[in-house]
Structure 1
Amino acid sequence: MVAYAPSLKDDDFKQKVGQFSCTQYIPDKSIAITGTSTGLLVIWESDKQRVKGENSETPYKRATKLIPLHQKGITFLTTTACHPYGKCIVTGDSSGQVKFFDCNFMLLFWYQDLKFGPVNCVSFATTSLFTEKNKSSFTESIKGKAYPTCATIGAEPFIIEDFIVSTSSAFMISVTVEGGLKKIILREHDSDVNGLTTHPVLNHVATCSHSGLVKIYDYESKLVVTMKSFGLNNPIQSCVYDKTGQYIAVGFMSGYLRVLDSLTLNEMTSEPFTYGKGPITHIDFSYCNNYCAYADSAFTTTLLLRSNTHECENSWCYVARVRAHNRRITDLLFWTLTESKRSRLFTLSEDRTLAEYDLYNARKHSLPVIARYQVEQLAKPLCLSMPPLSCYKEEFFFISNSASKIKLYNTSTLMCRKTVSSFPQGIEYTKVLPLISQKTNSCYFMVCLSKERLGLIMLPLDGDPLKYTNIIAHPSNGRGVGQAQGLAIDRNGLYAFTAGGPDTCVHMWTLNPTVLEKTVNIAGCMKRRFYDFLSRDFLEEMKDYFYYSMIRTQGICCMDERKTSFTIPITEIPFVMRAIGFYPTEAEVENMINEIKYSRFCDTGEYTTEIDLDTFIQLYCNHRPFQGILYKDVESAFNILTNANVGNKDKCAELSNSHETIIQEKPTITMEELFLTLQNSGEAIGEAEMSEYMAILWGILPEGDRQEILEEIDPKKIEKELESRMSTPINAETFVSDILQMYVYGEDNLSAGHSKELLSKKIQQTDTSLLDELVSNGKYAANSTQTE
């Protein structure tokens, strides 16, 4: 095989050629033709200077001519049989036109009304009219038939096979040449598929996309039930069936919401609801189908009420719209009380709050907000979901966050009752749905979706890694976009559906939770798997602190006979956690204590006041950050503090709510400014407590808790030492290395602009042989602990 790639420049013909799109050989000739993005046809003939007596079948070609065939770019090129010219050249362009030329490039016929997007392919019927068998009777067979005429002086009948045109706008059009009949035989989504919902009664799944198309499939027969296009100027963001399957609500990028009949897709209101000020991101119906609520990208929530009067022209009417958040709303949910069947409306937002609305006191243009609960401090909450019915004895809902955690909240007290890690570590579940329990299953499950992965989790949640399984559903890194947007489960819990967003794909997955259940049951003791998360040295260190905590509770200086025990009071949890290098906030400490305190309350009616070592290790593995303390996070915090102290509160809020780290040129603040910020922002620290902490960090006071410090303390001396250091400017580097006495390692943890000298200097100050080995080999684990 010999290949040759001739060059062609704009200067060769004093004309812009454009990019090559497709190439075809002309039958029975040694001429090749190439279509370009400027609508030109390049003619390639044998290069006689290079052939030198060889036969005409040679790869050495040169461009001899440019012929303008289209005003738009040529996207497709082929040849086909044609009467009366034997063969003709077929071209398609980016405007949707299809043209036919003879082998001398004279126009024979064209279809200019196929305006369904750029032509990708033209495929002709395989049952040819021009076979040798039909040649004798061909003239008789075309008599009386309405074939079009050629665009020539002779105006001969233009006869070719029927064909199908496919376009990049996801259309397939069947063209019958006789009579000029054109029919759309297939239309699919050609842009982001974000909306996905399943019918609660029928085997229907509905999809919607930015192409303005709503399409409903029967997922058992794999057939299209119905579809409706709202036009390319009305891109759709979301869609949801109501609880009975009578209606389907469709949310548009324009902020409009339409309520459609679920079978015919006819509108049930005379006009769409136009109260949204941005794309409709979330829609939900109440359990009794009396209410419909939707959230938009302008951080507002709108409530609709179903009309009970048959005389009313509209089935749904507007009630009120309210803005309860100052950041993007990540989820919206109607919660129904099991006993009374009364509904509660919640919205979750990136401002780290959960808002509850008063449905039963809502009136025209007024939707009261009952309360806003802070559910996160640093992580961003991503989704809100309820567990399967009868899974828990109490009523809970789940919140997944950006820290790779899933939290369980009591619906009555809004208290965090459980926190578990997601697996694999670092995964962020953006959609979580309960799986309808099948008769063959004795357990309950949840289906979860991240940007790439579809996961199945066995309940109840306890952090056991064996209870998690997942598969890459929408890959990234060159194999795909990795931006999954939609998740739905069929009414029987047999299938899961995922929408890939920009990849325009909808995948249907068969669920078999029995396999996961058997795997967990066979595996045996769960506590052993939490031990496997820890190294042997770290485990021994944890045991030492745990047993030392027992001594603390009985008194360090106690000379009486000590009572041996296998537990410590739950009030000791924060001290042991901080001793082993995990520094939870006060809210996280409260969550950990409540998790243990109420762990058996529903069964026994009593609080749990002690915790054993096995339970403590499980608690630690579930609550600890999966990637340790990052130096760039400390640096980002100093950026926020610097902007706060110079009065730029808007910039401070922007930085604190952004996922990105904005690096400044080593921002510094004084110790006095740091004191004031820590005493007045977030979880405020009292002046006396703050002074004690800083005195210990600076070495003025010995390490340990108050009850462990045996020597006398001179308060005046401490106060004088602290005041002398108040004006000292500090930055992220000095704060970590000089005050906290932590040493950064890992090249990935240093933000842009830091030199390798800083990295080497800090590693040399660390006495850990493992780190020296990592540095010498040039390897740094991205998800390992980042400080010592």
Structure 2
Amino acid sequence: MRRAGSESCFLFKIGSPEVSQIYKDISMTVDNTEEAGQKPEDILDQGKDKARLSLEERRKLFQSKGLSAEESLVSISTEDTLFQKEEDSKVYPLSMTWSFGWNSSLPVYYMREDRRIILYICAHTAVMYDVFRNTQYHLQGHPNIISCLCVSEDRRWIATADEGPDCLIIIWDAFTGIPVHTIFDSCPEGNGMRSIAITRDSKFLATISDSATQKVCIWKWTLAVETPACTLELPKEYGFQENLIFNPFNNKEMVSNSKTQAVYYYWFEDKGILAHSAPVLTEKTFNKLVGKFSQSVFHLKLPQVLSATKEGKLVVWDIHYPSSSSSSSSSSAAVSAFPFIKPRKLVHLQKEAIMVLMTVDSYIVTGDIKGNIKFYDHTLSVVNWYSNFKLGAIRTLSFSKTTPSPPTEKSNLPTDCTLRGDLFVVRNFIIGTFDATVYHMTVDGTKLEKLFVEPRDAVHAISCHPYQPLIAVGSVCGMIKVWDFEKKVYLFSRTFEKGLGVQCLTYNPEGALLGAGFTEGTVYILDAMSLENESPEPFKYSKSSVSHCCFSHDSNYMATADVNFTVAVYGVVVKNGQRVWEYLARLRSHQNSIRSLLFGVHLDSNEPRLLSLGKDRFLIEYNLVKSCKDHLDVLDIHRTDQGNYPTCMIWYPPLTRELFLLICNSGYKVKLFNATTKMCRKTLLGPAYGSPIEHAQVLPVKSTLELQKRYLVFINKDKVGLQILPVDGNPHKTCAIICHPNGVAGMALSYDGRFAFTAGGQDRSVVQWKINLGALEAAVSLGGEDLTPFYGLVSGGREGKFYRELEDYFYYSQIRSQGIDTMETRQVSEHICLSELPFVMRAIGFYPSEEKIEDMFNEIKFSEYVETGKLIDKINLPDFLKVYLNHRPPFGNTMDGIQNSFNVLGYTNSEGKKAIRREDFLNLLLTKGEHMTEEEMFDCFSTLFGLTPEGWKSEPAATSIKGPEICLQKELPEEITAEIFTTEILGLALSDSSEQLTQ
């Protein structure tokens, strides 16, 4: 995020004498051009702005006067500037090109009427959407989900705030999309903002935090400050305050409300004090039920505040200002005598719950839960209403900034409901409903136009057509929408009955069918073009949500997996000369959640093969040939990991002669397994961007010429990224960008490999990302070649202390393998034998399990077997470094991992810590996991405690567990905690910066 410094003063520099002089210079330039015989149109930009010079020429002229590039761009921009800008997507490997969806919890703003430009929020991005041109401009910069936004009266400035860690407030120039000022760490509590408001003259911002104890702050953002001008902490008994607004005629007054309490604020700007008044309404206040508050506004003409309720009523509050005598007395008395509000009356406005309350021109406007929109005058007499459009519950209303023109004879304006029957003149407006539909209302002619309909619930399911620019999006609300992602056009949709929420979608390889799994366990097979049922009835064999769905390469099988760890298979049979889908069998094959379900091809028979991968660390292959009705046969089961759990699985592209399965795990590792034997052939460091890979796909290629250069697209918890294949652990071959801060739910790739799509789950959005492989390749070249990128992964690099120690241990291992005390001539070599590899690993601080050691041996032994048919029994230093970096924990040894083990195995002692008794500790080492023999255990403890020199064997231990226990009673405490085990037994120390363990 760019920190805006001088840019925050754009608001005043636009009208400054310096800028006025520049515009005079521009005018003279145009006049001189005309005198010279050149037509002014030759140098005009497409926007035809007042200055009549191109944007680039105007920018140069402003920079010649000492203004910076961004400052000059904001100063000289017009409304047409934003969509004239061409975003250079070639600079970044992944760039956002379109956002499908709308966060219907937040308002939509009508930014411009002639082009019908609207502003809305999609996850952590503010979207400026030009309806007529069907184009979007994205205001990107927030690291978290945007929680609130507001716009200035003249629609020039946009303020957005987010929720979460390192929350930001950003003020944007709506003409250029430039963030003119950023307020960092705006909510130190870390919860972000609940509501934000801007004054009518755009000079001040006000915010309400989203924390347990809410704070109201006022910001003088035009002064480039990052601390509020004043702060007020609200009592918890006020309830959760939201919907904050300024008095449009007085910057010192604000009002907000919770469901039970309205709060009026008065700002003593000169003293930096924010006073407030919050009278409590009881049952006796009006002797009537008031109801829950929805929104509050200031009265148009009277010193009053109006609060709408969900009972269809309006509470009128009188604002009482202090007398002039009290305000002219001492400062302390003036502060104590601040304005306050008192309830005046309760107006029963309508039967329906009022969801929106606002003012525009001379009207008070309401939107209710039945979709009605009503206009009242300042006396609360109804003037006009719209109730015949059958809209959903109104969520937001936004009126054009253009003042309505006086009616003419050709006007089709409706008449109001007064006795005079005057023409009803009001601005055109945008309507947003709770069912995520946005409309445009043209008052002249009373024309309602639907702009878009988006999912109102979480979006987990997306799938791209295999050879057309189509993407299917499924929502938990039961809607499936199909878009043309090149033309950005909605094509067709289907909404299923209530209770059916779409959880997963997939096209079959021919693109004729669309498989859909639902939250309550139903499985549909649909026609891809009409979304009608392909089979007469859906399949209802699962009692839980269907999480995965996939087709075989020949489209003869479809498999699903549900959250109850069950795999189900459906097949095509021929009945009466027609191909019909039937249920085959299902099996609860895993003991934990299924992370991947994958079809493959048997190379010898071209028959489909089916594999599933579970969080229980098992890779299971099914025998489809031997499977029959109600019996799903298992071919084999392999365990993929020991400590970490797998997260996803794909077929590795044929970049080598050996066919691999690529499996990612929770330890930020990527493992390659032989597709036939399931032997782990390589373990490599995967992308480490805050969380492990959750899902990955190989980028499709456009032609056979691109088959030797392949790329991997992946998502983790909140990011989407690219990686160049083959995988080798080089960190410079990957890049990632935040796509959905609250979590990525799914990913799909376009058939031509040009775009990636990510689904945001609870943020109800799908984002389209343009892929630029050239930018990624350029970043890789900057990281260096050969071993240069790997040297950067060790402390100090190649010249650092760690690498020098590694060299020493490596060469000492050569001496050790030849005999330390030998007098024979040494054999100088660049290699060590594989048997020495574990000792060198442990010497430099990496303690692999026996299974990991076996994986390392297999990786090295068979590294050239496919090409040469020979096994490798030695390794040189560069290859050793790569093996070490790829197999070690990506973040080193941490105290968290040890503490988690004690939390599982231990008990809570008298001090409240997790501990293990000494006898239980020794018994665990002898009997659980990769257990030791008594002799091995005694040798380790003897070396750790210095009872015998390192490398020397101790006396054989007794044949029972009592032998080592008696010998170690003096050294081991009766009760062992994670801290004692780490520092006193292993002799490791915690670093100063974190819980990183060092030798």
Q: State the TM-score, normalizing by the size of structure 1.
A: 0.81
Provide the alpha-carbon RMSD of the alignment.
3.6
- In 2, the alpha carbon distance for the partners of 1:781 and 1:667 equals 21
> 1:377 — aligned with what?
642
- In 2, the alpha carbon distance for the partners of 1:548 and 1:188 equals 66
Q: Rate the CA distance shift 1:677–1:59 in 2: closer, same or farther, 3 A.
A: closer
- In 1, the alpha carbon distance for the partners of 2:957 and 2:562 equals 56
Between 1:464-473 and 1:92-101, the stretch displaced more is 92-101
Which of these residues, 535, 554, 561, is aligned with residue 295 of structure 1? 561
The Cα shift of 1:311 comes to: 4.9
Q: Rate the CA distance shift 1:716–1:317 in 2: closer, same or farther, 3 A.
A: closer
SS of residue matched to 2:870: coil
- In 2, the alpha carbon distance for the partners of 1:304 and 1:664 equals 57
**8 Å contact 2:938–2:957 — kept in the other structure?**
no
- In 1, the alpha carbon distance for the partners of 2:572 and 2:896 equals 51
Q: Is structure 2 residue 253 aligned with structure 1 residue 4?
A: yes
Counterpart code for 1:556: I
Between 1:625-634 and 1:362-371, the stretch displaced more is 625-634
The Cα shift of 1:343 comes to: 1.8
* C-alpha distance after superposition, 1:12-69 (max 9, x if no partner): 835657445242544x666664434554323355647648999xxx998765333233
Counterpart code for 2:829: S
> 1:226 — aligned with what?
492
Give matches, 1:233-312, under 5 Å. 233-309=499-575, 311=577
Which of these residues, 554, 574, 579, is aligned with residue 818 of structure 2? 554
Q: Rate the CA distance shift 1:133–1:456 in 2: closer, same or farther, 3 A.
A: same
Which runs of 5 or more structure 2 residues have no equivalent in the other structure? 1-249, 255-263, 265-276, 328-337
> 2:297 — aligned with what?
23
- In 2, the alpha carbon distance for the partners of 1:10 and 1:17 equals 13
The Cα shift of 1:421 comes to: 1.3
**8 Å contact 2:595–2:648 — kept in the other structure?**
yes
Which runs of 5 or more structure 1 residues have no equivalent in the other structure? 82-86, 476-480, 644-660, 747-773, 775-779
* C-alpha distance after superposition, 1:291-346 (max 9, x if no partner): 1111111111110112334655x832111110111111111111224554322211
The Cα shift of 1:629 comes to: 2.3
Q: Is structure 2 residue 392 aligned with structure 1 residue 116?
A: yes
Which of these residues, 926, 949, 955, is aligned with residue 679 of structure 1? 926
Between 1:522-531 and 1:174-183, the stretch displaced more is 174-183
Q: Rate the CA distance shift 1:640–1:164 in 2: closer, same or farther, 3 A.
A: closer
Q: Is structure 2 residue 369 aligned with structure 1 residue 105?
A: no
> 1:64 — aligned with what?
344
**8 Å contact 1:695–1:718 — kept in the other structure?**
no
- In 1, the alpha carbon distance for the partners of 2:902 and 2:319 equals 69
Give matches, 1:550-629, under 5 Å. 550-629=814-893
**8 Å contact 2:290–2:313 — kept in the other structure?**
no
Q: Rate the CA distance shift 1:71–1:542 in 2: closer, same or farther, 3 A.
A: farther
Counterpart code for 1:379: N
> 1:436 — aligned with what?
700
Q: Is structure 2 residue 445 aligned with structure 1 residue 445?
A: no
**8 Å contact 1:201–1:245 — kept in the other structure?**
yes
Aligned length: 704
Q: Rate the CA distance shift 1:699–1:30 in 2: closer, same or farther, 3 A.
A: closer
**8 Å contact 1:8–1:63 — kept in the other structure?**
no
The Cα shift of 1:167 comes to: 1.0
Between 1:721-730 and 1:507-516, the stretch displaced more is 721-730
- In 1, the alpha carbon distance for the partners of 2:788 and 2:395 equals 60
Which of these residues, 23, 27, 41, is aligned with residue 314 of structure 2? 41
Between 1:684-693 and 1:507-516, the stretch displaced more is 684-693
The Cα shift of 1:249 comes to: 1.1
- In 1, the alpha carbon distance for the partners of 2:980 and 2:398 equals 67
> 1:649 — aligned with what?
none
**8 Å contact 2:934–2:957 — kept in the other structure?**
no
- In 2, the alpha carbon distance for the partners of 1:117 and 1:412 equals 57
Q: Rate the CA distance shift 1:319–1:568 in 2: closer, same or farther, 3 A.
A: same
> 2:728 — aligned with what?
462
The Cα shift of 1:617 comes to: 0.8
Which of these residues, 457, 480, 483, is aligned with residue 191 of structure 1? 457
The Cα shift of 1:741 comes to: 3.2
SS of residue matched to 2:438: strand
Which of these residues, 326, 341, 347, is aligned with residue 612 of structure 2? 347
Between 1:678-687 and 1:180-189, the stretch displaced more is 180-189
The Cα shift of 1:602 comes to: 1.9
- In 2, the alpha carbon distance for the partners of 1:693 and 1:454 equals 45
**8 Å contact 2:693–2:716 — kept in the other structure?**
yes
Which of these residues, 550, 571, 589, is aligned with residue 324 of structure 1? 589
- In 2, the alpha carbon distance for the partners of 1:664 and 1:345 equals 52
- In 2, the alpha carbon distance for the partners of 1:302 and 1:268 equals 18
- In 2, the alpha carbon distance for the partners of 1:735 and 1:370 equals 47
* C-alpha distance after superposition, 1:366-422 (max 9, x if no partner): 00112221111111211111223x322211121111111111111011111111112
Which of these residues, 609, 621, 624, is aligned with residue 359 of structure 1? 624
- In 1, the alpha carbon distance for the partners of 2:371 and 2:520 equals 28
Which of these residues, 203, 212, 217, is aligned with residue 478 of structure 2? 212
Counterpart code for 1:223: V
Q: Rate the CA distance shift 1:532–1:102 in 2: closer, same or farther, 3 A.
A: closer
Between 1:690-699 and 1:282-291, the stretch displaced more is 690-699
SS of residue matched to 1:409: strand
Q: Rate the CA distance shift 1:52–1:263 in 2: closer, same or farther, 3 A.
A: farther
Q: Is structure 2 residue 971 aligned with structure 1 residue 724?
A: no
Q: Rate the CA distance shift 1:474–1:157 in 2: closer, same or farther, 3 A.
A: same
**8 Å contact 1:198–1:489 — kept in the other structure?**
yes
- In 1, the alpha carbon distance for the partners of 2:564 and 2:671 equals 26
Q: Is structure 2 residue 960 aligned with structure 1 residue 690?
A: no
SS of residue matched to 1:319: strand
> 1:485 — aligned with what?
745
Between 1:484-493 and 1:32-41, the stretch displaced more is 32-41
Between 1:269-278 and 1:459-468, the stretch displaced more is 269-278
- In 1, the alpha carbon distance for the partners of 2:678 and 2:514 equals 31
The Cα shift of 1:218 comes to: 0.2
- In 1, the alpha carbon distance for the partners of 2:960 and 2:556 equals 65
> 2:758 — aligned with what?
498
SS of residue matched to 2:990: coil
* C-alpha distance after superposition, 1:206-232 (max 9, x if no partner): 111112111110011000011111245
Percent of aligned pairs sharing the same letter = 31
**8 Å contact 2:783–2:789 — kept in the other structure?**
no
> 1:526 — aligned with what?
786
> 1:749 — aligned with what?
none
Q: State the TM-score, normalizing by the size of structure 2.
A: 0.65
Q: Is structure 2 residue 600 aligned with structure 1 residue 335?
A: yes
> 1:766 — aligned with what?
none
**8 Å contact 1:498–1:508 — kept in the other structure?**
yes
Q: Rate the CA distance shift 1:59–1:676 in 2: closer, same or farther, 3 A.
A: closer
- In 1, the alpha carbon distance for the partners of 2:962 and 2:292 equals 77
- In 2, the alpha carbon distance for the partners of 1:111 and 1:670 equals 74
Q: Rate the CA distance shift 1:180–1:786 in 2: closer, same or farther, 3 A.
A: same
- In 2, the alpha carbon distance for the partners of 1:662 and 1:632 equals 19
* C-alpha distance after superposition, 1:454-482 (max 9, x if no partner): 1111111111122112222223xxxxx2x
Counterpart code for 2:344: T
Q: Rate the CA distance shift 1:615–1:383 in 2: closer, same or farther, 3 A.
A: same
Q: Rate the CA distance shift 1:214–1:720 in 2: closer, same or farther, 3 A.
A: closer
Q: Rate the CA distance shift 1:327–1:714 in 2: closer, same or farther, 3 A.
A: closer
- In 2, the alpha carbon distance for the partners of 1:450 and 1:546 equals 36
SS of residue matched to 2:820: coil
